[in-house]
Structure 1
Amino acid sequence: MNINTVKLAYFSPTKTTETILHDIAKGIGPETLDVIDITRSDARQQPLKVAEDELLIVGVPVYMGRVPALVGEWLNALEASNTPAVCVVVYGNREFDDALIELKEWITGQGCVPIAGAAYIGEHSFSDSGLPTAQGRPDQDDRTHAEAFGQAIVKKMHSVSAISQFAPIEVPGNHPYKGKTTLWDVNFIAVSEECGQCGICADVCPVEAIAPEDSSRIDEVKCITCCACIKSCPQNARSIKPGPVNDAQKRLNTNCKAPKKPEWFL
């Protein structure tokens, strides 16, 4: 079975999921690569339709052990018809819990046929130089693993002549799903006097929670604690202040030091 077109669809506020998916695509080496970056809110307003002769690779970060709720809303509009698909989750060196099985079952319900799944490690969104967790991940070993995963996908697809010949893939997870889909509504970002109101933080926010005219104004209900604004600030003017997010940051730094390894499921 040959696939000439690969579609990458990902939500990636801090670019870790984006990096992994592009490395997987590099291993596949398709004739045509279409990229659907649903990190921006306007992009999530556009439904995706994929065909049987295309390969869809969906990548999401793990939030509270689950698929981010706003990604689920976009997935509900996905239209597929026996489309081969690959599910990828990226987590911050704690656990990926039920996110992978949830993603697999979500896209199956939209008409996809999952042929592979994988879990990779990315630097945790709460990580910083003072309290790092999985700092620098995905590293070169992760990226090499992702490229090899792409090559393994090609080999698997070439082993059959029709999508109906694929056996269902098994991935770890629980029924019912554990973890939470509701995030904290918390004022956790400190903005220092170094802020020059450049607007980059507002531009990278995937949920438009930052006022473009005043970056210190943050809508706590909209905010999904992705920390993209903190990591993208050119002046390092944004940081996590004392409170529940900082407490979680400390726990992660203490309890999640041992590097996890990526896994794939074929």
Structure 2
Amino acid sequence: MQLTQEDVVVIAVPSYGGRVPSVAVRRLKALNGQGARAVLACVYGNRAYEDTLVELEDAARETGFRVIAAMAAVAEHSIARQFASGRPDEQDAQQIAAFAEQIRGKLSTNDLSEPKLPGNRPYKKAGGASIVPKATKDCNRCGVCAANCPVEAIHKDDPTKVDEKACISCMRCVAVCPQGARKVSPLLLSAASLMLKKVCSERKECELFL
């Protein structure tokens, strides 16, 4: 893909633990922005996105993009799905559509000013205990989960085998399994839900930075 300074690129990532997933940073750094204008977007599960946008901004700049806008949006929490359930909803859609018009307006005036983004440098420490979905007895080894895993953590020939170090706990495999045969440990899920209850219960709104 050959980019130019006239191009506008949307770079979107999920926020996991307030950071950009390391695999997304690696993939972004394999590109050459060539001075193209970039709109950054992070999606988080109604807890907090913390240093996600500044980390994404740094990676985009290092790769040669010019950051002109950024957005943080809320979606259903990938693990504890009772938090932000049903989001993005109609209110979110209206907000994001309004953001898009504001970004369009900035682009139309060739305003290349950089937004001031919330977050810290150095970034918060990444990591923490990961929650790895496992195959249940209902797994028929169809391979849908392996084909859809963004980090190829699931063995293609035997989906019951998972590289736990590679897994980023995105829960994509759980969402796409046609048999409903991938599950998270109920004990771990209960502990995560209890931990998140206080910080995730109040509705958070999408944010735009121009």
TM-score by length of 2: 0.90
Please report the RMSD computed on the Cα atoms of aligned residues, expressed in angstroms. 2.0
CA distance in 2, matches of 1:222, 1:192: 20
Task: State the AA in 2 paired with 1:173.
Answer: G
Gaps of 5+ in 2: none
Q: Secondary structure at the match of 1:215?
A: coil
Task: State the AA in 1 paired with 2:136.
Answer: S
Aligned to 2:118: 172
Distance change in 2, residues 1:70/1:49 (3 Å): farther
Aligned to 1:215: 159
2:18 aligns with one of 52, 58, 65: 65
Aligned to 1:156: 106
1:82 aligns with one of 19, 23, 35: 35
Question: Which structure features the higher share of strand residues?
Answer: 1
Gaps of 5+ in 1: 1-47
Contact 1:98 1:179 (C-alpha < 8 Å) held by counterparts? no
Write the mapping of 1:41-190 to structure 2, written as runs, cut at 5 A: 48-128=1-81, 132-160=82-110, 165-180=111-126, 182=127, 184=129, 188-190=132-134
**Residue 246 of structure 1: how far off its partner (Å):** 4.6
Task: State the AA in 2 paired with 1:215.
Answer: P
CA distance in 1, matches of 2:2, 2:79: 34
Q: Secondary structure at the match of 1:119?
A: strand
* Identity of matched residues, %: 36
Distance change in 2, residues 1:240/1:250 (3 Å): farther
CA distance in 2, matches of 1:106, 1:192: 38
CA distance in 2, matches of 1:157, 1:83: 12
**Residue 168 of structure 1: how far off its partner (Å):** 2.2
**Residue 96 of structure 1: how far off its partner (Å):** 0.5
Task: State the AA in 2 paired with 1:138.
Answer: P
Equivalent pairs counted in the alignment come to: 210
**Residue 204 of structure 1: how far off its partner (Å):** 0.9
The answer to whether the aligner puts 1:231 opposite 2:175 as a matched pair is yes
